[in-house]
Amino acid sequence: MINSSQKATLPHLQAGEHVTLQSQGSYKHNLRSGWKIAQCFLTNQRFIIYQRPAIRFEVALSDIKGLKIERLHYVIRKKECLCLFFRPKKRSEEARIWLITNDPENWRKAIYQASLLKIDPETIDNISAQLSADGLDILWYLWEKRHAKIDQLAELIDAPNHMHVLMEIRETINPVAEKIVGFPVLSFERSKIDPETGEPVLFSWWLAGQPEERTRSEDRLLDIFDEGSHIQVIMEIKGVEQSDLALEVEGGAVMIRSQNIGDSLKETVRLPAEVDPHKYQMHLKNNLLEIRLAKVKRSFVSK
């Protein structure tokens, strides 16, 4: 619990906001200005530079566009500093601010994880390949739901207790993720706003980073052939098995989707003719999916 003396050294926090990293440091807004000493705070919503009693600089995590480590003159020698690129309010061009702390690499990792880290299905696949069945179920569930309380995760994998879930996250999932992407991908948040609903979520585990849906690239292979009595579709699909796929055929379109929990594959292909929803075949080999659909037979009555 934060006491009154600690509160006096903190900037005013918004509803549902809490500090995840803080340290004393120095900052400057351009290369020609001098360094100014201040307290630096990273929260679950903002990066803040604070000189009591006022906030001197703040930027929402969603407005951070890039990070890098540079070496700049500080007092009488060069020192490593963090350069933060951000989108200022009421301006279209990017701006920069430089920050010096005792551990710039730790700050870079923390800010990157909170604002720039992207998680896509391929990343989840790579992590899942090194997990147990319980770890895989937890990871894919959080990919789909974004957050869950520990009792939900315990029920999901039929865990004997909450400690089993914690051990799976802390000793297996996150260490594997750190090897693959350089960061833990699951984090516990006492309070965080759900970006979809706008509602606060309390005491839950979250998938870190920003989700990236699996979408069809414009240059990905997709061919459609009209073969008289049939329509043939050939398309490139990666990261799934044929047993994972389900087809929904209706009129002149076919929807291909994955039945795996957490997989975002869902694509509709428009066809040049109406097809029978019950007469089709599909085959997947070497990431190429071939679908053969029978056209609807029309009967013509002569007058």
Q: Are residues 138 and 206 in the same domain?
A: yes
* CATH number of residue 145's parent domain: 1.10.10
How many CB atoms lie under 10 A from the CB of residue 191?
A: 14
| Side-by-side strand order, sheet with 266-270 | 245-250, 253-258, 266-270
- Structurally, the chain folds into a number of domains equal to 3
103 and 158 together in one domain: no
pLDDT digits (tens, 9 = 90+) for 192-246: 777 777 788 899 999 987 655 444 444 568 888 888 889 999 988 877 788 888 8
Q: Does 24 map to a domain?
A: yes
Q: Of 298 and 24, which is predicted with more confidence?
A: 24
Single out the residue in 188, 211, 234 at which a domain terminates.
Answer: 211
Is the residue at 229 inside a domain?
Answer: yes
- The yes-or-no verdict on residue 131 having pLDDT over 60 is yes
Residue 23 within any structural domain of the chain: yes
Q: Quick check: is 303 in a domain?
A: no
Strand, coil or helix: 50 = strand
Contact in structure between 290 and 232 (CB atoms under 8 Å): yes
Residue 149 domain-assigned (yes or no)? yes
- Contact assessment for residue 271 and residue 263, using Cβ atoms and an 8 Å cutoff: no
Mean per-residue pLDDT, 40-57: 93
- Amino acid letter for position 111: I
Collect all residues with Cβ–Cβ distance below 8 Å to 215 and sequence separation of at least 6. Answer: none
Tell whether pTM > 0.75. Answer: no
